[in-house]
Amino acid sequence: MNITCLPGGLLGTNTYVVPAAGNRCFVVDPSVSASAISKCIRDEGLEPAFIVLTHGHYDHMESLVSLKVLYPQVKIFIHEKDSWALGSNALLRHEKSFRESGLGGLYTEFDAAMSHDSFPCADAYLSEGDVPERDWTVLHTPGHSQGSICLYNEAQKLLISGDTLFYMGWGRTDLSGGNEDEIMQSLKRLSLLPSDVKVYPGHGRCGFTMAQNPIM
């Protein structure tokens, strides 16, 4: 399976375009420009079916509004515990998150891409064990946020890990909803996956195997 990684955005977030059944695909964590995502989708001859947000932090949805304008039929999925990041007044909650993370100066740049009137709501919530697409299973991995998830494809040994697991690290736990004990438990869970599972994280190096990551 050819998963395309598109790094970019305010904090160098990895956006993924993932092939699905037929000529469909889904997008994970839209942060690079909607035009770049759309070009990738067109070049691959695909049609987007839905968007998955691995968690609710602003840097994983920078182009969500503009992507939804391009593809109004596309559904948006997130874990319910991070549902605060979408819908009515979500921008006010994101501003608070910016301040907490020490990156308040970047908020105006993020806000410029958003609309208070059109910020989308979730179409469905993802929970542990859900299968949003054939062979892709949701793993609820709290710690970086309460609603952090990974997507695991056991058949093809692929893991989209969001900010739960990076190469040589993991997501910070000092923001609202973060919990160091919980992320350690989530990492312990991921460490039980086969060593040849290929990992696609929310930031940094893409496509490393579990065995190649010293922290695992």
| E strand intervals along 13-116 | 13-19, 24-28, 47-52, 75-79
pLDDT, tens digit only, all 216 positions of the chain: 899 999 998 889 999 999 999 999 999 999 999 999 999 999 999 999 999 999 999 899 989 989 999 999 999 999 999 999 998 878 777 777 767 777 666 666 666 655 555 578 999 999 999 999 999 999 999 999 999 999 999 999 999 999 999 999 999 998 889 999 999 999 999 999 999 999 999 999 999 999 999 998
Closest Cα partner for 96 from 80, 87, 84? 84
Domain boundaries defined on the chain? 4-212
Question: Which pLDDT score is estimated for 48?
Answer: 98
Q: And the tokens for 126? A: 């993802």
Single-letter amino acid, residue 129: G
* pLDDT for the residue numbered 114: 59
Alpha-carbon dihedral 201, 133, 60, 38, rounded to 10 degrees: 110
Q: Is the model's pTM score more than 0.85?
A: yes
User: Smallest Cα–Cα separation from 67: which of 2, 120, 22, 125?
Assistant: 120
CA–CA distance, 42 with 150 (Å, rounded to integer): 26
Rounded to whole angstroms, how far apart are CA atoms 3 and 46?
12
For position 37, what pLDDT does the model report? 98
Q: How many CB atoms lie within 10 A of CB 98?
A: 21
| Of the candidates 80, 69, 79, 63, the residue with the CA atom closest to the CA atom of residue 27 | 63
The predicted pLDDT at position 58 comes to: 87
For residue 147, count CB atoms less than 10 angstroms from its CB and return exposed for 0-12, middle for 13-18, buried for 19 or more.
buried
- CATH number (3.30.1490.190, 3.30.70.890, 3.40.50.970, 3.60.15.10) of 4-212 reads 3.60.15.10
> pLDDT for 93-141, tens place per residue?
777 776 777 766 666 666 665 555 557 899 999 999 999 999 999 999 9
